[in-house]
Amino acid sequence: MPSPEINIHRIAQLSRLALTEEEAARYEKQLNQILGHIDQLSSYPLDAEPSAHAMPVFDVVRADVARPGFTQEEALSNAPRRAMDQFQIPKVLE
């Protein structure tokens, strides 16, 4: 059973809502029903461990296998400018 000391006018003031007496009565009834449902839910035992996902999550990654790559000369073969066997790029900062 929800606590009877709920002050709907204070909640409305904190929420910056201007409620009529009719609205306040209706919202107080609705809030008491919601809190009653929460009390009912809290009576159930919760023995399960919390989890982030409903199903187990597995990472699928391929095996890390070394493969042949470019030689230094092949990598630099289409470079517009080279300097000492490296790519030469325009200056970015002054």
What backbone phi and psi angles, to 5 degrees, belong to 23? Answer: -65, -40
d(CA 33, CA 30): 5
For residue 24, give its domain range.
Answer: 8-42
In a domain, 31, yes or no: yes
Residue-wise pLDDT tens for the chain (94 aa)? 455 678 888 989 999 999 999 999 999 999 989 988 988 988 888 787 777 777 777 887 888 899 999 999 999 998 999 998 899 998 888 7
In a domain, 30, yes or no: yes
In a domain, 93, yes or no: no
In a domain, 94, yes or no: no
Q: What is the pTM of this model?
A: 0.44
Domain count, the chain: 1
**Which run of H or E residues covers position 54?**
none
In a domain, 13, yes or no: yes
Q: What pLDDT score does 58 carry?
A: 80
d(CA 34, CA 27): 10
Are the C-beta atoms of 24 and 12 separated by less than 8 Å? Answer: yes
d(CA 38, CA 80): 69
In a domain, 17, yes or no: yes
In a domain, 24, yes or no: yes
